[in-house]
């Protein structure tokens, strides 16, 4: 109607101008430009068997039968009538009639979604309502913008279905992670827009909980050695130490009862070695005596340590009572005793061998701090680069089972590498690049359905109380343990334990302990 009025006014202006003898002038106002993807309103001008024409502001839109309804129709008159007001999206200029545009009723939703998404920005946080729950995620309406939240982005926990994380109609906060608005095409179904968002991006990453876990620890002690010249036997070393302590030859003779000729011969030998100059000990002699005395002090230490070389970093070194100095977990956690009937806890012989090959500055600071006092540590630091002093690690007794606390995420990260968690709400997956265990003890068990038939081999991690299914056997090395004593099994709920493929386990039977090495983990 507006277009017809515009043409009438134009004719009047041109007619009046000609009557006055003046040159015709164009209208001042101009029509809004038309481009593909725009939404307009118009009046149905003509309805044919398989098409319709719509009159809008200053242009005519051609509407094909396939763009009138998402349902199957046989004629345009099934959905349109002459004079009807409709909203349509412009697809592009007509290839048959100059000045006409092709249009679509079906594409209005796509055009509206593009306009709504164009107002969003990546990493923007906004609120939306769950409007559809799918198998792989949910759709949200956020103020007219439609967002998709994948299953993995619904929660930091791993859930088997979106319905376990959200409900229909729930209001949630999300963060936009990706916006896709491809160029508009006449075949608009092939270039649809979309946006992906994350619910867990609006919540902090879960903090780890600490759970008790046992390890088979090796006992160790420090061993120190001063490297002295071969000619410097214990007697010569004692005389050198007396000189370093600023005693005269006469005093040394009285204290040691050594003959004078023998003492002078020793002085000559020490002078030849650069340890004495004109009867006075050189700095070289002083460092040698310090190294010898420090080595004696260290070797006399009765205190031992425990090393759990497959434990989480920060708790690998313990005192001889199994206590971790400055533990990452809160102080005062009760340490449960490891049941003697259970199999030997986790350890790795190669890791222990590597530990005992450490020497000098390669010895962990935690070991030095555990076994030496401040004075001895200062001397070790001073003599660390001196070739006359050597410090190393030695075994100090049989293995011991010790229990400490580890992060549950440290356990989960290892298991997610080769296993798939079972249950409705699955443990958090820390993702790649996070510290994770390399050796675990798991219990293999059979899962039975309602009819009593075995359905799946399931693995139980007793410290985190979680159930798992082996996903990739090539990533683990398992060895069955001989123990037949098991921990109490948690009671299954009335819903049972969901298994892959939709099967529900109603009963679990423990079979055997397995020591598990996760390949590729340090």
Same domain, 57 and 133: no
Same domain, 75 and 147: no
For residue 224, being part of any structural domain is answered with no
Same domain, 100 and 114: no
pLDDT tens for 271-304 read 888 888 988 999 988 888 888 888 888 888 878 8
Average of per-residue pLDDT across 379-402: 84
**C-beta of residue 310 within 8 angstroms of C-beta of residue 414:** no
For residue 82, being part of any structural domain is answered with yes
For residue 380, being part of any structural domain is answered with no
Same domain, 67 and 114: no
The residue from 156, 171, 202 where one domain ends is 202
Per DSSP, the three-state class of 145 is strand
Q: What's the confidence (pLDDT) of residue 13?
A: 35
Average of per-residue pLDDT across 107-131: 91
Indicate whether 14 pLDDT > 80. Answer: no
- Give backbone dihedrals phi and psi of 400, rounded to 5 degrees, phi first: -135, 140
Give bridge partners of residue 89 from the DSSP assignment: 39, 104
* CA 368/CA 512 separation, integer angstroms: 40
Same domain, 513 and 425: yes
The residue from 106, 125, 159 where one domain ends is 106
Same domain, 486 and 439: yes
For residue 412, being part of any structural domain is answered with yes
Contacts 24+ apart (CB under 8 A), 395-400: 395/218, 395/219, 395/220, 395/356, 396/219, 396/220, 396/221, 396/304, 397/219, 397/304, 398/219, 399/216, 399/217, 399/218, 399/219, 399/344, 399/347, 400/216, 400/217, 400/219, 400/306, 400/322
Q: What's the confidence (pLDDT) of residue 521?
A: 62
- 3-state per-residue secondary structure call for 436-463: CCCEEEEEEEEEECCCCCEEEEEEEECC
Q: What's the confidence (pLDDT) of residue 502?
A: 81
**C-beta of residue 158 within 8 angstroms of C-beta of residue 430:** no
Indicate whether 181 pLDDT > 90. Answer: no
Encode 159-198: b = buried (16+ Cβ within 10 Å), e = exposed. Answer: bbebebbbeeeeebebbbbebebeebeeebeeeebebbbb
The pLDDT-based confidence of 32 (bands split at 50, 70, 90) is low
* CA 497/CA 507 separation, integer angstroms: 9
Same domain, 95 and 142: no
Our count of domains for the chain comes to: 3
Same domain, 71 and 96: yes
pLDDT tens for 237-257 read 888 888 888 888 888 888 888
For residue 435, being part of any structural domain is answered with yes
Domain at 96, CATH number: 2.40.50.140
The pLDDT-based confidence of 60 (bands split at 50, 70, 90) is very high
Same domain, 58 and 115: no
- Average pLDDT, whole number, for the chain? 86
Higher pLDDT, 114 or 501: 114
- DSSP string computed for 367-407: HHHHH--HHHHHHHHHHTT-TTEEEEEEE-SS-EEEEEEEE
Alpha-carbon torsion 206, 207, 209, 210, what sign?
positive
Higher pLDDT, 93 or 9: 93
Same domain, 421 and 498: yes
Residues 6 or more apart in contact with residue 289 via CB below 8 angstroms? 237, 240, 241, 244, 281
Nearest CA to 118 among 139, 140, 143?
143
For residue 432, being part of any structural domain is answered with yes
Same domain, 100 and 147: no
For residue 275, being part of any structural domain is answered with no
Same domain, 414 and 510: yes
- Give backbone dihedrals phi and psi of 63, rounded to 5 degrees, phi first: -120, 115
Indicate whether 461 pLDDT > 90. Answer: yes
- Helix, strand and coil in the chain, % to nearest 5: 25, 30, 40
pLDDT tens for 62-71 read 999 989 998 9
Query: 91-95, 227-231, 359-363 — which is least confidently predicted?
Result: 227-231
The residue from 51, 82, 106 where one domain ends is 106
Q: What's the confidence (pLDDT) of residue 498?
A: 87
Relative to beta strand 466-470, strand 454-461 is antiparallel
Relative to beta strand 59-64, strand 100-104 is parallel
The pLDDT-based confidence of 20 (bands split at 50, 70, 90) is very low
Candidate ranges 8-12, 263-267, 348-352, 426-430; pick with highest mean pLDDT: 348-352
Q: What's the confidence (pLDDT) of residue 1?
A: 39
The CA distances from residue 130 to 148, 180, 454, in Å, are 10, 20, 39
Indicate whether 329 pLDDT > 90. Answer: no
The pLDDT-based confidence of 30 (bands split at 50, 70, 90) is very low
Residues 6 or more apart in contact with residue 99 via CB below 8 angstroms? 59, 60
* CA 219/CA 274 separation, integer angstroms: 40
**C-beta of residue 442 within 8 angstroms of C-beta of residue 514:** yes
* CA 202/CA 43 separation, integer angstroms: 46
Q: What's the confidence (pLDDT) of residue 441?
A: 96
Average of per-residue pLDDT across 374-386: 79
Helices (H), 62-145: 108-118
Q: Which range of residues forms the domain containing residue 45?
A: 31-106
For residue 288, being part of any structural domain is answered with no
Indicate whether 17 pLDDT > 50. Answer: no
Residues 6 or more apart in contact with residue 411 via CB below 8 angstroms? 211, 213, 436, 437, 440, 461, 463, 464
* CA 345/CA 323 separation, integer angstroms: 17
The pLDDT-based confidence of 4 (bands split at 50, 70, 90) is very low
pLDDT tens for 36-59 read 889 999 999 999 989 999 999 889
The pLDDT-based confidence of 7 (bands split at 50, 70, 90) is very low
């Amino acid at each position: 109607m507006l277009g017809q009025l515009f043409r009438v006014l134009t004719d009047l202006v041109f007619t009046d101008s000609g009557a006055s003898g003046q040159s015709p002038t164009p209208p001042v106002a101009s029509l809004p430009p038309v481009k593909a993807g725009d939404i307009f309103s118009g009046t149905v001008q003509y309805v044919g068997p398989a098409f319709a024409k719509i009159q809008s502001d200053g242009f005519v839109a051609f509407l094909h039968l396939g763009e009138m309804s998402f349902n199957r129709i046989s004629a345009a008159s099934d959905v349109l009538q002459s004079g009807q007001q409709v909203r349509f999206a412009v697809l592009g200029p007509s290839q048959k009639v100059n000045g006409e545009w092709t249009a679509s009723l079906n594409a209005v939703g796509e055009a509206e979604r593009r306009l709504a998404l164009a107002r969003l920005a990546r990493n923007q946080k906004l609120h939306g309502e769950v409007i559809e729950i799918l198998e792989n995620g949910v759709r949200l309406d956020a103020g007219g913008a439609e967002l998709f939240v994948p299953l993995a982005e619904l929660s930091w926990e791993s859930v088997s279905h979106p319905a376990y994380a959200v409900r229909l109609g729930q209001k949630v906060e999300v963060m936009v992670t990706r916006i896709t608005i491809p160029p508009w095409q006449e075949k608009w179904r092939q270039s649809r827009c979309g946006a992906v968002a994350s619910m867990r991006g609006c919540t902090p990453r879960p903090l780890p909980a600490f759970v008790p876990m046992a390890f088979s620890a090796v006992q160790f002690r420090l061993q120190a050695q001063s490297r002295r010249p071969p000619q410097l036997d214990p007697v010569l070393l004692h005389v050198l130490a007396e000189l370093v302590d600023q005693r005269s030859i006469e005093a040394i003779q009285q204290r040691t009862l050594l003959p004078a000729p023998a003492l002078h011969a020793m002085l000559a030998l020490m002078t030849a070695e650069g340890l004495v100059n004109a009867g006075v000990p050189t700095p070289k002699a002083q460092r040698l005596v310090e190294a010898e005395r420090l080595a004696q002090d260290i070797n006399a230490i009765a205190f031992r340590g425990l090393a759990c070389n497959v434990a989480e970093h920060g708790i690998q070194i313990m005192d001889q009572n199994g206590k971790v100095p400055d533990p990452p977990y809160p102080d005062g956690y009760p340490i449960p005793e490891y049941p003697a009937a259970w199999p030997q806890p986790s350890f790795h012989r190669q890791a222990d061998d590597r530990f005992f090959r450490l020497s000098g500055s390669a010895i962990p600071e935690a070991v030095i701090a555990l076994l030496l006092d401040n004075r001895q540590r200062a001397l070790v630091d001073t003599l660390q680069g001196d070739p006359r002093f050597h410090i190393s690690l030695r075994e100090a007794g049989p293995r011991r089972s010790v229990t400490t606390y580890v992060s549950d995420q440290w356990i989960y990260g290892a298991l997610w590498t080769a296993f798939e968690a079972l249950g409705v709400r699955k443990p958090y997956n820390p993702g790649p690049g996070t510290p994770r265990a390399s050796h675990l003890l798991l219990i293999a068990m059979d899962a039975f359905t309602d009819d009593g038939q075995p359905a799946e081999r399931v693995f139980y991690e007793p410290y985190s109380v979680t159930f798992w299914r082996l996903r990739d056997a090539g990533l683990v090395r398992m060895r069955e343990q001989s123990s037949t004593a098991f921990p109490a099994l948690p009671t299954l709920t009335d819903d049972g334990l969901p298994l892959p493929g939709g099967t529900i386990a109603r009963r679990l039977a423990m079979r055997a302990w397995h020591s598990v090495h996760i390949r590729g983990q340090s």
